[in-house]
Amino acid sequence: MRTQVAIIGAGPAGLLLGQLLHKNGIDNVILERQTADYVLGRVRAGVIEQVTMDLLDEAGVGARMHQDGLIHDGVQICVDGVRHRLSFKELTGKSVMVYGQTEITKDLMDGRVAAVAPTVYSAQDVTLHDFFGDNPRVSYRAEGRGHEIACDFIAGCDGFHGISRKSVPPGLISAYERVYPLGWLGLLSDTPPVSEELIYVRHATGFALCSMRSPTRSRYYIQCSLAEDVEAWPDERFWEELKPRLDDEARDRLVTGPSIEKSIAPLRSFVAEPLRFGRLFLAGDAAHIVPPTGAKGLNLAASDVRYLSRALIEHYQEKSADGLEHYSARALARVWKAERFSWWMTMTLHRISDNPFDQKLQLAELDYLFRSPAAATAFAENYVGLPY
């Protein structure tokens, strides 16, 4: 088989890139290790930036998002039982949208089926070949047989544990990493959210987040140790751990109920540099991870895809290599700012250290954030998404 761009991974990065390329007449094939149902079953991101919404519109898959997504003009931060509100709208003129990654993935998958563009699910042993030469190839196994795709470019959109980044000779790639000694235990339930806006909670016993997917579906997270086993967390234990971290009003409004999903995610900051290796380009979680606190992971995947899709379109339509040559530097400039913001939010809101000095610094950071319009504006600018 031959295609122009072989895309590894059918997460948000791979599917969105595929859709944008297809819209511009560029052939592509997506190879995904898992089944479509497995990919759709992963409950992850909930908040998307305006620029991500714009890109989903550009890809022609934004209709359901505009119908069902919830526009949020601000966010709330609760510090040891006292809630504060930061208005994005007043500080930046912008908003974010609450619309689940599961729904975005579904919209992108439906768009791909409608475009009759090829996706191979359950592709095993995906292997990248010759991407430093002019004729890269990707081989894989499906339905018991070996297959090979010849292509012009390979897009590595296969997440943090994927094969693309690992295919790069070690001496050519630099990794920058910080692992936090904690995770998030998340619970999804068909209960009304405690608040119309998200509440990020800083509490002496640990971080919590009250989020949502719709007016009838809530998503909650609590900070947990990395050693936790989700099996040790029956729903009742989760609710009992969450309650004392909330303010009185939120606690009164909390409606508990059976979980639909519960999972633990470790917190990590990671960046691989550069993002281009000959004819291989890395995008999204394959290249970088942020701790979830700033709600930036999916948004960064979309921002890489924006740069990469434009670069590939420029290559095919204008015969210009400029975008491809600058892809890595342009994408990384935005990535590092989101890394900084996500690290800052993580360090400011979690119980990471038992040193009272560190805890006093967190409180000083937050007090400054609530009192200084400059600090609040800097926060809001980052949360709604920095301009390209």
Q: How far is the CB of 2 from ligand FAD (least distance, A)?
A: 19
Q: Is 295 in the site for ligand DHB (CB under 6 A)?
A: yes
How many residues lie near ligand DHB (CB under 6 A)? 10
Report the residue number, 22 or 296, with the smaller CB distance to ligand DHB. 296
Residue 219 in contact with ligand DHB, rule: CB under 6 A: yes
Residue from 6, 26, 30, 47 that binds ligand DHB (CB under 6 A)?
47
Choice between 139 and 256, CB closer to ligand DHB? 256
Nearer to ligand DHB, 123 or 347 (CB): 347
Is residue 72 involved in binding ligand DHB (CB under 6 A)? no
- Cα 248 to its chain centre, rounded Å, is 31
Task: Decide whether 2 or 161 has the Cβ nearer to ligand FAD.
Answer: 161
Site for ligand DHB in 26-45 (CB under 6 A): 45
* Least distance in angstroms from the C-beta of 224 to ligand DHB: 15
Among ligand DHB, ligand FAD, none, residue 323 binds (CB under 5-8 Å by kind): none
In the complex, the smallest distance separating the C-beta of residue 244 from ligand DHB, rounded to whole angstroms, is 21
Tell me the C-alpha to C-alpha distance, in Å, between residue 78 and each of 101, 209, 219, 246, 354. 25, 10, 17, 7, 20
Of the two residues 119 and 293, which places its CB atom closer to ligand DHB in the complex? Answer: 293
Q: By CB under 6 A, tell whether 211 contacts ligand DHB.
A: yes
Distance CA 288, CA 265 (A): 16
Q: Out of ligand FAD, ligand DHB, none, which partner does residue 275 contact, by CB within 5 to 8 A per kind? A: none
Q: Report which residue's Cβ sits closest to ligand DHB.
A: 46
Among 3, 50, 269, 293, binds ligand DHB (CB under 6 A): 293
What does the H/E/C string look like for the chain? CECCEEEECCCHHHHHHHHHHHHCCCCEEEECCCCHHHHHHCCCCCEEEHHHHHHHHHCCCCHHHHHHCEEECEEEEEECCEEEEEEHHHHHCCCEEECCHHHHHHHHHHHHHHCCCCEECCCEEEEEECCCCCCCEEEEEECCEEEEEECCEEEECCCCCCCCHHHCCHHHCEEEEEEEEEEEEEEEECCCCCCCCCEEEECCCCCEEEEEEECCEEEEEEEECCCCCHHHCCHHHHHHHHHHHCCHHHHHHCCCCCEEEEEEEEEEEEEEECCEECCEEECHHHCEECCHHHCCHHHHHHHHHHHHHHHHHHHHHHCCCHHHHHHHHHHHHHHHHHHHHHHHHHHHHCCCCCCHHHHHHHHHHHHHHHHCHHHHHHHHHHHHCCCC
CA distance 105 to 127: 24
Could you tell me which residues are beta bridge partners of residue 78?
83, 201
Q: Which does 56 bind (CB under 5 to 8 A by kind): ligand DHB, ligand FAD, none?
A: none
Binding residues for ligand FAD, rule: CB under 6 A, are 8-14, 31-34, 39, 44-47, 101, 123, 126, 157-159, 161-163, 184, 186, 265, 284-285, 292, 295-299, 301
C-beta closer to ligand DHB: residue 45 or 335:
45
Does residue 11 touch ligand DHB according to CB under 6 A? no
Which residues are known to be catalytic? 72, 200, 292, 296, 383
Tokens in use for 260?
A: 């639909």
Q: For the window 185-204, what string marks contact with ligand DHB as x by the rule CB under 6 A?
A: -------------x------
Q: Which is nearer to ligand DHB, 42 or 129 (CB)?
A: 42
- Quick check: 69 binds ligand DHB (CB under 6 A)? no
CB of residue 339 to ligand FAD, shortest distance in Å = 12
Q: For binding to ligand DHB (CB under 6 A), which residues are involved?
A: 45-47, 198, 209, 211, 219, 292-293, 295
